[in-house]
Amino acid sequence: MGIIRALLAISVLITHSGKIFGVRMLNGDMAVTCFFVISGFLMGLIVTEKYKSIKDFYINRALRIYPAYLLAVILSYIAFTLFPQGSHNPPMVLTRAIEHKGFIWIIWSAISNVSLLGIDLTRYIKVAQDYSILFPNFLHGGGGGGHNLLLVPQAWTLALEFYFYLIVPFVVKLRTPKLVAATAFFFILRWQAHAFFNKINLPVDDSSIFIFQVQYFLIGVVSYRLYAWFRSAGMKKNWKDILGSTSFTVGLLMVFGGYDIFGNKEQWLVDIFYTAFAVLLPFIFYWCNKTFSSLDKTIGDYSYPVYLFHYMVAKSLLLLTSDKWYGELSLAITLVISFLYLFFIDNHVQRLRVTIAEKSTKKRKLGMQPESIPVNS
């Protein structure tokens, strides 16, 4: 499944830069939602089969998220300082906030940029001319978007991941029928909210509101339950392989062509796409692990750093290159930075994460009662 994850990260990169050799793939919002589905799948897997201690899980999550993120913050600050621009320039916005004594903005910027706390809420605030806060943004005209304060603005998705971690101990205790019912409830809630917002002509972007996104995580957990059944099902091996390879092929087609078919459609139609994606995940995961597990993992390791580092690269290149090779150069430079991070930093962090995970797994094998622990890749 690592190949799919890497392609989704590249999809977000293309959204912020341009087509790569004429290829578009999913747009950023659809790719991010697919990431939420995958997150639910992997959390369900690891919570059930890997971790004994919730403390071990949270330490491992912090080691997974923060080293790459904090490096992205530092590099982004350098990049936006060296290559100032009008479209996104957090250092300039922060300097002006200090000049206007916009202390709320300064504090919010510092906390969200360093800790990720409140970073999702910046999508719903505006900077007024006097640098006061306008919230929610869809009720106010004028001013600049709160994302202009963020050095890594696409990292708002990590805030939602944190919320997912908090609810997983309760989610994994649900029986499958209740889990499916909860998933359906939140799908319907979002459809009804869309209908209401449209009726009163209110332009609300609900893409980072937890209660309107949690269903994608939940359907990922349901997908893991399907995987657990499929793995132990008394099906002939060659039929499992055929189902897995076919699902992988369809998954690739969905990533490359899904936006052309489902993009800009009614929300319930787009949700059919995400549901189909969730149904394919168990078979994709089974087949990738069985067929080319090492290669799949290696490629998948690039998904997170590519997701974090691409924005500063793409924005910096706006001042350095023509449109002709914009997407291709953005990808190439992002891959180089990601490789350097994985080789010089992540390899060391990964050893520590593996040690923590192995200790927790060993406790489970000793016959202790497992706790419910949230997870991700």
**Per the domain annotation, does 90 fall within a domain?**
no
Domain region containing 55: 2-85+157-365
**Per the domain annotation, does 125 fall within a domain?**
no
Can the peptide bond before residue 136 be classed as cis, meaning omega within 30 degrees of 0? yes
pLDDT at 373 (0 to 100): 32
Over the stretch 70-90, which tens digit does the pLDDT of each residue have?
999 999 999 999 988 777 889
**Per the domain annotation, does 151 fall within a domain?**
no
**Per the domain annotation, does 127 fall within a domain?**
no
Nearest CA to 149 among 71, 203, 91, 198? 91
pLDDT at 366 (0 to 100): 63
pLDDT at 371 (0 to 100): 37
pLDDT at 290 (0 to 100): 92
pLDDT at 320 (0 to 100): 78
pLDDT at 364 (0 to 100): 64
Distance CA 80, CA 94 (A): 12
Helices 54-82, 347-365: crossing angle, 10 deg rounding: 170
Where the chain has pLDDT below 70, the residues are 141-144, 322, 363-377
What residues form DSSP beta bridges with 133? 127
pLDDT at 143 (0 to 100): 61
Give the DSSP letter of residue 145.
Answer: E
**Per the domain annotation, does 92 fall within a domain?**
no
Q: Which ranges in 141-236 belong to alpha helices (H)?
A: 156-171, 176-199, 214-232
Q: How many domains does the chain have?
A: 1
**Per the domain annotation, does 360 fall within a domain?**
yes
* Residue 44 near residue 345 (C-beta atoms within 8 A): no
**Per the domain annotation, does 214 fall within a domain?**
yes
Would you mind telling me the total number of residues written for the chain in this entry? 377
In the chain the first and final C-alpha atoms are separated, in Å, by: 10
Sign for the CA dihedral angle at 131, 135, 137, 141 comes to negative
**Per the domain annotation, does 201 fall within a domain?**
yes
pTM for the model: 0.93
Residue that has been written with the tokens 């209660």 in this structure: 211
Q: Where are the beta strands (DSSP E) in the chain?
A: 126-127, 133-134, 144-145
Residue that has been written with the tokens 């621009």 in this structure: 85
Rounded to 5 degrees, what are φ and ψ at 127? -95, 115
pLDDT at 370 (0 to 100): 37
